[in-house]
Amino acid sequence: MRWIWRYKKWLGYTAAILLVIVFISQAKITFRDSEGGAEAAGAASAQPSGEGGAVLPDAGGFQLAAETETLRLKFHEATGHFMVEDKRNGHIFRSYPDPEEWEQAGVGGAWASHLVSPLMYQHIDMSNPNANPKESSFTRDEGKVENVQLIDGGVEFVFDVPSAGFKIPVSIRVEDDYVETSVQDEELVETGKDQLLWLRAYPFFSAVQAREEDGYLFIPDGSGALVSFQDKRSTIKQMYQERVYGADGSFISSPSSRNNVVMPVYGMKAGDQAFIAVIHEGAPYSDIIASPAGVLSNYHWIGTQQNYRMRYTQVTNESANRSFETYTKGERFRDDRVTRYYLLDEKQADYAGMASKYREYLVKEQELKRLTPDHQDAPFFLTMLGADREKGVFTDRYIQATTASGAMQIVQELYGLGVQNIKVTYLGWQKGGYSALGGYLPVDERIGGAKGLKHFVDYAHSLDIPVYLEVNYGMNNTKVNGFRPRHHGVRDLSGTLMRFSHQSGDDITMVSRTFMVDSIQDDMADFAKLGIDGLLMEGIGRFISTDYNSRYGGTRSEAAHVDQQALQTVRDQIGGVQLRNPGFYALSSVQHIYDLVDDYSYDLFSSRAVPFAQIALHGLVTYTSTPENGRSQYRMDFLKDIEHGAYPSFDFTMTETSNLGGVYWYAPVSSHFQDWKVEAVEQYQRYNEVFADIQDRFIIGHRQIKSGVMETEYEGGTRVIVNYNDEAYESGNIQVPAMDYAVIKGGKVNAQK
Amino acid sequence: MTMWNLKRFKLLLAVLMLTVPVLTHTADADVMYNTFTRDGFGRLVWGTQPAYAPAKIIGHDLYVSDEQNPEVMQPSPLRNPQDVYIDNKDEIYVADSGNNRIVHFHKNGSFKRYITPEDSPLNNPHSVFVTEDGNIYVADTGNKRVIVMDPDGKLLQEFGKPDSEFMPKDLVFDPIKVIVDKRGYIYIATLGGYYGAIQLDPEGNFSKFYGANKAPFSAIDAVKRALYTRDMYANELNKVPPAINNMTIDDNGFIYTVTSGKDVTSEQIKKLNFEGQNLLAKSSDLSSVNNSYGEFTPQNLRRQPEAVPSIADAAVDSEGNFTVIDKTFNNVSQYDANGELLFFWGGQSANGITQLGLIKSPVSIDMNSQQELFILDNQENVLQQFRLSEFGALVYHANGLTMAGKYEESEQYWSEVLKLNAFYTPALSGLAKAAYKKGDYNQAAVYYRQAGNEIGYSESFWQIRLQWMQKNFAVFATGLLVLIFGSMVVRRLWSRLLSKRSGSKAVSPRSRAEAWLQHVRHVFYLLKHPIDGFTALRFEGKGSYIGAFIILLGAYAAISLSKLYTSFSFNKILIQQVNIYMIFLQFVIFVLAWVICNYLISAIYRGEGRFRDVFIGCAYALVPLIIVGIPLALISNVLTLSEAPLYYYIRNAMLVWIGFLFFWKVQSLHNYSVGETLVNILLTIFAIAVMAVLAFILVGLTNEIRVFLYELYQEVMLR
């Protein structure tokens, strides 16, 4: 046996290698795959045909479930699918892909069964730390539809998926011109050890291939964008997926380079058949997904993904920066998930029609009202900075930008030059200037104090000019109002405070919603004493996150709700509210929106931006885009305002801009009033000519006449044509010079120069 | 994403301590990226209007007919493309390396044709160049050759590794870039070719190596060369010059070479004339030129710590302005013909998203006659086109006039630029030059100062001073005379007065305050007689802690004041950048380190000084900071850079004086010989270094222990 010892070294190696091989083959080594990757892999392995055992519901299996004056709802009991017939024009909207094109679906395997399924979901086994999320669908897991009951206006039932361990109660109702699907949270049960991560209910509602047809997906990207069916299919295959109202700071989201979604809506148009979907409940925990044809199948589809649990960073050692990522266990996000599909009549079947329908929704559900112009002229939105701080030799240096009397002088000069309908918002008036966040009263003595401010307000009122003050209760670095970061700051699930350090050396902490509302409440009486007309509320109406602060926190939906109440309070007690590019959930109490997004994210699949938000809002709420003296492109953005019905706004200071180069928080590149005075008035006059008599009119039409030429149509027949091209546009008796616009009022043509 | 309007808040400057994802991404309307520039103090000016706006994407819809079924068009996207070239008709050529073909696009970006020589297929072509007569040059890297095709794609000529006795044996001929000048000379950059670019004459014969870079040579190398034997040094020195990895040629025939690499932090771009001289290295008048290209923001650096820009390619317009792309940070930087920064911008699209204007991996850039930029992305495999924005066009127009010396003409355009962006430094410089030209020196000085240009400021101030002197010459001359005469009289009177009062002076101090005053007054004696003075400190009790503290306070004040009040010509600094707390900290650490270490060393090295003597002596030795430093700072305000030698002479003399005082201090306090003093000082410096290292380690370890204990506590409490 001695020869064995001679080779013992080799034997050892061999044994070790064998062991490793056995281990590898036995152990479940799993690779975490991003969701997109998993989906892409599914598509890649697909066979080029629409079978693979997947069958669409047979037309005969549908039975009438409910009927309204315009709609007829039919339900397919075996599959849980439904179809809606629009009685106005006979169009049929199905909850599954267009059956006529099913042969060319372009997928097989898993994705084929997903496509015919009413429900897709992702779940994970939380008991196994190495488990990966599993993506599947109702059809693929061979679930059953149970407990079907007719209810008022529709049907309710339960999707039972024993293999995954879920019972998901769903109801479908029709009312007026919409069909509503909802997933009630209360009866949703997870029976197995797997937990639900997300759910897509009827994701392929109205999915079409529409190879040659005129149509598009409408995505709420920025002000709205279209994903056209007609575009030659790009060789770059990408989808749109974004969280409604932006990322939730408490959870991990792959960093997005896109615009935030501010409106919980999406839509589709194929030929003269179109719908707009509004996420009625549960929007803060929803993603909007749009998949152009050619990405996962040959169908264009768009829908929502309802999130129930998300990934977050569990910090194990803060100072050594050690942490791991995991899913929220246990409690899911408990919101009912309700989506309404408004079916549009043929003459409304475009994005302007969708926006009009959304406007109706805002009026009906969020109680927005048509505004009544308070002046015959169009408004001029004027923000002025009081003061800010910069680093000084010993302590911070206080830089006066516009004192109360300076502000008075600016208003006086503008008024004297013929700008009468000014709306003033005063920033950085608080003690310590603009970079002092969180605590606001008293007014800093160095810009005039409460007395000086009151004097300014009284003066403005004598000219019928309202004065708003900007406040930001959403962040705090002053510890005023009893704010203690550790007690009152936003925390994620592992207890990490949401804060950042600023160049002033201050820690700025995000403030928990409930505490924020208390602070606002406390300050109300003092604001009322200043005689002001309202507040520009920064840090509210956006940046909502799930807050795990045990005393002051709440879910994202609760944060949205708190915002609404806070804004209502301010409106009731002071009179007015202005916001900066808010989520549309916050609109009920708002008079004016600053910085309303007016562009899209330039995704390759998007063919162009559309002013959906503007069409929905004009006549309900006033809005401005970027201030004119802070624009990227002066002429281009001016034309865009004219096209979008946005009013002019300016950021002014009495002091020269170069004095503000070192301040902590305020950052316009050009704000000196004397530099801009004349130009501001000239610009305003142009806006005024266009908008003075259509301040309360809704936009009823918007279209691209030809590439680079846009037409906006208002109630009462006023049309605005904007030409972004380098050559003049001519059609009949309408002439629009290059990079210019024309206004047609009652058939009369006024070319502007 | 216009989540948080960049134009309104300086949130980007905030250091995000912890992830606050909702706040991190911001961009302008119209474009998806942020545009920046720098002010004359090197600070980032952000929120600048975009210079370029994205126009469209080219090359995402390429198709080829299926081999089996010619009617069916199969998508055939670009694959790892390496080079874009715009010819003089503005038509676009892309070296589609991964697909072994050249793609030719129309002027408007629509597909025109694929170019491959039929009988001799390309293999991984890395570069394409088209001459004025339409001949197409391709660096066919995989086949180790450069080929010339006629406009129809017929192979005319091909060049392999030149056959020449001057061609080094170890040169591997992997051509990655080819350009041709107006004379028909061909320049070929090869992969890793540190000899420079291979220059061929129009017939294809080897002419010379062109534009080779210098091998990096550091201080350590110099030490090695001095100490090592010849063989050792040769072994040590495997350093070769960095290779040229890209080239471009402008309308005037200047060749721009691009060099990148981990060690290449300057002269990444060279503008070479036909002799191979770098014209960018010369500094222009009235401005200092920075030879380092490729800009980045602190945010870039936070994401990729210690990374350096790696320039991939450059494009030059007809006026010599050039634009470079950086593969490390994915930024695009634009410079004018003097190498002064005009703009830079950048931004990255998230994974799985392709957005117009955002580039994931830039490899090549070119510009057409409309000044439109084309940037090739070899990760997204598309070509992006950018159009000059309104602001960009204005800046280019104004800068063109300034470069041509038409300062007055440029003024109105620069004023317009400055109105749109009060922090745009090239506008400040342009206006400063215009004001100087017009003779408005006061205005010029103001602009130069804002632009952070100390040379221009000093020139303007020279003129202002000259004018003032001319205007006030009579007063000045009289004043000078009176001063000289007066001082003579006063001095005479003074000495008479002193001689009368002498004798009644030296009394013992009555009160403590008077004692301190005495101690401070001892300074003047000490400065005149340093050795006696320091000895008196030690042995005659002439100093006290209080007196020393007063002097140290004065020295600290002097340092701070000279930071704050020295003329801009000699002290290019923003008042916000002066951190007097930091100065205080440094000062205290310096004094303590010296005093402690010197005392400890002397204690074991036969020194006689006590701790108090070392401390007090140190304070007294710093006195020149006060009596020279402060007046010098004040005087600098009437000096210009022409008198810089005088300024620096006085300043250095002060430092030398302090050095000598320290020397004498050690010598007298400890009663040393000169040799002992030297050894003591060297040991003290060594001790300081050791102490610094110890302090560093101690702090680190203590922190570890603190963290450990804290974790332990948490573990106990929370479990």
**What's the CA gap between A599 and A44, in Å, rounded?**
33
Do the strands A467-472 and A62-67 form a parallel or antiparallel pair, or are they unpaired?
unpaired
The answer, for B30 touching chain A at a CB cutoff of 8 Å, is yes
The residues spanned by each domain of chain A are 61-365, 380-596+646-696
Q: Dihedrals φ, ψ of A494, to 5°?
A: -90, 10
Q: What would the pLDDT profile of A559-608 be if each residue is shown by its tens digit?
A: 999 999 999 999 999 989 999 889 999 999 999 999 898 888 888 888 88
Inter-chain touch B422–A669, beta carbons under 8 Å? yes
What is the enclosing helix (H) or strand (E) of B648?
helix B644-670
User: Comparing A452 with A212, which gets the higher pLDDT?
Assistant: A452
pTM of the predicted structure, to 2 decimals: 0.85
**What's the CA gap between A704 and A275, in Å, rounded?**
20
Q: Please check the confidence at residue A353 and state whether its pLDDT lies above 70.
A: yes
Closest by CA to A546, choosing from A357, A377, A308, A320, is: A308
User: Comparing A106 with A123, which gets the higher pLDDT?
Assistant: A123
The residues facing B334 across adjacent strands are B323, B343
Q: Which of B6, B15, B21 sits opposite A255 (nearest CB)?
A: B21
Inter-chain touch B21–A247, beta carbons under 8 Å? yes
Inter-chain touch B347–A257, beta carbons under 8 Å? yes
- Residue B288 pLDDT grade (very low, low, confident, very high; cuts 50, 70, 90): very low
Cite the beta strand spans of A244-361 per DSSP E: 265-270, 273-281, 286-291, 301-307, 311-317, 322-327, 337-344
Instruction: Return mean pLDDT, chain B.
Output: 84
Please state which CATH number belongs to domain A61-365.
2.70.98
Inter-chain touch A255–B31, beta carbons under 8 Å? no
Q: Which residue intervals of B274-424 are DSSP H helices?
A: 298-303, 390-403, 407-420
- Residue A289 pLDDT grade (very low, low, confident, very high; cuts 50, 70, 90): very high
Give mean pLDDT, residues A744-748. Answer: 67
Domain at A380-596+646-696, CATH from 3.30.1490, 3.90.660, 3.20.20, 3.40.190: 3.20.20
List Cα–Cα distances, A290 to A138, A344, A407, A583, B429, in angstroms: 20, 20, 48, 20, 50
List Cα–Cα distances, A327 to A2, A126, A324, A619, B490, in angstroms: 57, 8, 10, 44, 88
**What's the CA gap between B79 and B57, in Å, rounded?**
15
- Looking at chain A, the whole-number percentage of residues with pLDDT higher than 70 is 90
Inter-chain touch B18–A496, beta carbons under 8 Å? yes
The answer, for B7 touching chain A at a CB cutoff of 8 Å, is yes
* B-contacting residues in A 617-676 (Cβ below 8 Å): 625-627, 629-637, 651, 656-658, 661-672, 675-676
3-state helix, strand, coil split of chain B in percent (to 5) is: 45, 20, 35
Give mean pLDDT, residues B305-320. Answer: 89
- Residue B706 pLDDT grade (very low, low, confident, very high; cuts 50, 70, 90): confident
What pLDDT was estimated at residue A749? 47
- Return the DSSP state at A165: T
Closest by CA to A335, choosing from A640, A51, A558, is: A558
Q: Please check the confidence at residue B125 and state whether its pLDDT lies above 50.
A: yes
- Residue A231 pLDDT grade (very low, low, confident, very high; cuts 50, 70, 90): low
Distance from CA of A436 to the nearest CA of B (A): 13
Q: How many CB pairs under 8 A join A and B?
A: 220
- Looking at chain B, the whole-number percentage of residues with pLDDT higher than 90 is 27
Q: What would the pLDDT profile of B328-370 be if each residue is shown by its tens digit?
A: 889 999 998 888 889 999 877 777 788 888 888 999 999 999 8
Inter-chain touch B15–A502, beta carbons under 8 Å? yes
Q: Which residue of A has its CA nearest to B356?
A: A602
**What's the CA gap between A259 and A609, in Å, rounded?**
12
Q: What would the pLDDT profile of A606-665 be if each residue is shown by its tens digit?
A: 888 999 999 999 999 999 998 888 888 889 999 999 999 999 999 999 999 888 888 888
**What's the CA gap between B234 and B209, in Å, rounded?**
24
Q: Please check the confidence at residue B640 and state whether its pLDDT lies above 70.
A: yes
- Looking at chain B, the whole-number percentage of residues with pLDDT higher than 70 is 91
Q: What would the pLDDT profile of A82-101 be if each residue is shown by its tens digit?
A: 999 999 999 999 999 988 88
Q: What would the pLDDT profile of A382-413 be if each residue is shown by its tens digit?
A: 999 999 998 887 888 899 999 999 999 999 99
Q: Please check the confidence at residue A363 and state whether its pLDDT lies above 90.
A: yes
- Residue B162 pLDDT grade (very low, low, confident, very high; cuts 50, 70, 90): confident
The encoded tokens of residue A681 equal 């008035």
Contact A490, A543 (CB under 8 A): no
Chain B residues whose CB is inside 8 A of the A595 CB are 2, 5, 8
Closest by CA to B399, choosing from B433, B367, B430, B437, is: B430
The answer, for B263 touching chain A at a CB cutoff of 8 Å, is no
Q: Dihedrals φ, ψ of B70, to 5°?
A: -60, -20
Q: What would the pLDDT profile of A412-424 be if each residue is shown by its tens digit?
A: 999 999 999 999 9
Q: What would the pLDDT profile of A50-66 be if each residue is shown by its tens digit?
A: 444 678 888 888 999 99
CB proximity list for B512: less than 8 A, separation 6 or greater: none
Contact A81, A65 (CB under 8 A): no
Q: What would the pLDDT profile of B192-224 be if each residue is shown by its tens digit?
A: 888 888 999 888 888 888 888 887 777 777 777
Q: Please check the confidence at residue B6 and state whether its pLDDT lies above 50.
A: no
Among A41-50, A359-368, A538-547, B457-466, name the one with the lowest average pLDDT.
A41-50
Give mean pLDDT, residues B579-605. Answer: 89
Q: What would the pLDDT profile of A495-534 be if each residue is shown by its tens digit?
A: 888 887 777 777 888 899 989 888 888 888 888 888 999 9
Contact A606, A225 (CB under 8 A): yes
What pLDDT was estimated at residue B273? 86
Distance from CA of A177 to the nearest CA of B (A): 34
Q: What is the largest CA-CA distance in chain A?
A: 112
Do the strands A154-161 and A166-175 form a parallel or antiparallel pair, or are they unpaired?
antiparallel
CA angle A610-A614-A615, nearest 5°? 80
Q: Please check the confidence at residue A279 and state whether its pLDDT lies above 90.
A: yes
What region, left, alpha or beta, does residue A132 occupy, with left being phi > 0 and alpha being psi -120 to 50 degrees? Answer: beta
Q: What would the pLDDT profile of B84-109 be if each residue is shown by its tens digit?
A: 999 989 999 999 999 999 999 999 88
- Scanning the structure block, which residue is given the tokens 């002053």? A478
Q: What would the pLDDT profile of A436-494 be if each residue is shown by its tens digit?
A: 888 787 899 999 999 999 999 999 999 999 999 999 888 888 888 788 888 888 888 88
Peptide bond into A442 cis (omega under 30): yes
- Residue A103 pLDDT grade (very low, low, confident, very high; cuts 50, 70, 90): confident
* A-contacting residues in B 372-391 (Cβ below 8 Å): 380, 382, 389-391
Q: Please check the confidence at residue A41 and state whether its pLDDT lies above 70.
A: no
3-state helix, strand, coil split of chain A in percent (to 5) is: 25, 30, 40
**What's the CA gap between A656 and A673, in Å, rounded?**
8
What pLDDT was estimated at residue B27? 41
**What's the CA gap between A228 and B504, in Å, rounded?**
103
Q: Which of A257, A668, A671 sits opposite B349 (nearest CB)?
A: A257
Select the residue from A601, A614, A639, A671 to test the B interface by mutation, using most B Cβ atoms within 10 A: A601
Q: What would the pLDDT profile of A723-739 be if each residue is shown by its tens digit?
A: 999 899 998 888 999 99
Distance from CA of B444 to the nearest CA of A (A): 16
- Residue A183 pLDDT grade (very low, low, confident, very high; cuts 50, 70, 90): very high
Going B440 to B442 to B445 to B446, the CA torsion angle's sign is negative
**What's the CA gap between B39 and B346, in Å, rounded?**
18
- Residue A742 pLDDT grade (very low, low, confident, very high; cuts 50, 70, 90): very high
What pLDDT was estimated at residue A49? 39
Contact A355, A363 (CB under 8 A): no
Select the residue from A632, A644, A655 to test the B interface by mutation, using most B Cβ atoms within 10 A: A632
Give mean pLDDT, residues B503-530. Answer: 69
Give mean pLDDT, residues A321-350. Answer: 86
What pLDDT was estimated at residue A72? 92
DSSP assignment string, A111-144: HHHHHT-SEEEEEEETTSTTPPPEEEETTTTT-E
DSSP assignment string, B463-511: HHHHHHHHHTHHHHHHHHHHHHHHHHHHHHHHHHHHHHHTTS------S
**What's the CA gap between A91 and A317, in Å, rounded?**
59
What pLDDT was estimated at residue B19? 41
Chain A residues whose CB is inside 8 A of the B53 CB are 632-633
Q: Which residue of B has its CA nearest to A504?
A: B14
- Residue A699 pLDDT grade (very low, low, confident, very high; cuts 50, 70, 90): very high
**What's the CA gap between A427 and A433, in Å, rounded?**
8
What pLDDT was estimated at residue B52? 92
Q: Which of A257, A595, A671 sits opposite B353 (nearest CB)?
A: A257
In total, chain A counts a number of residues equal to 753
Q: Please check the confidence at residue A30 and state whether its pLDDT lies above 70.
A: no
What pLDDT was estimated at residue B287? 46
Closest by CA to B370, choosing from B392, B350, B388, is: B388
